[in-house]
Amino acid sequence: MYYLTELVEMIILILNGFSILILLFGVGKAVIDFIKNEAKQDDRFTNVKNNNRIKLYLGSYILLSLEVLIASDIIETILNPSIEDILILAGVVVIRTAISYFLGKEMEQTEQ
């Protein structure tokens, strides 16, 4: 049983790290695209349109990162199912879900 608990804790750590990597990768790509966009000598309206695409692209990475973190939190709560942990998980899921929802809405508006 001890080895199983250790394995699950390792999986949680890997998922958290993976979530951070997803976020950093998306931010890195967005920074590179932003710099390329600003280096062009396009008119302002084209730059704004391209920046909105970059924001949309970054938003998709943020959403994916949040979903991986939620999965990690669910696994962690299954491992330690105390009332306090369940309430903390519920709060975290509600907050992250709200962020995901509003980020998704913003992405839809940007696409249109």
What sign does the CA torsion over 104, 85, 7, 9 have? positive
Confirm if 87 and 53 have CB atoms less than 8 A apart. no
Per-residue pLDDT of the chain (112 residues), as tens digits, is 678 888 888 999 999 999 999 999 999 999 999 999 989 888 888 888 888 889 888 988 988 998 898 888 888 888 777 888 788 878 877 887 888 788 778 777 766 6
Q: How far apart are CA 69 and CA 49, in angstroms?
A: 31
What is the model's pLDDT at position 112? 65
Helix (H, G, I), strand (E, B) or coil at 109: helix
pTM of the predicted model as reported, rounded to 2 decimal places: 0.77
Take residue 96 and report the two structure tokens written for it. 């992250």
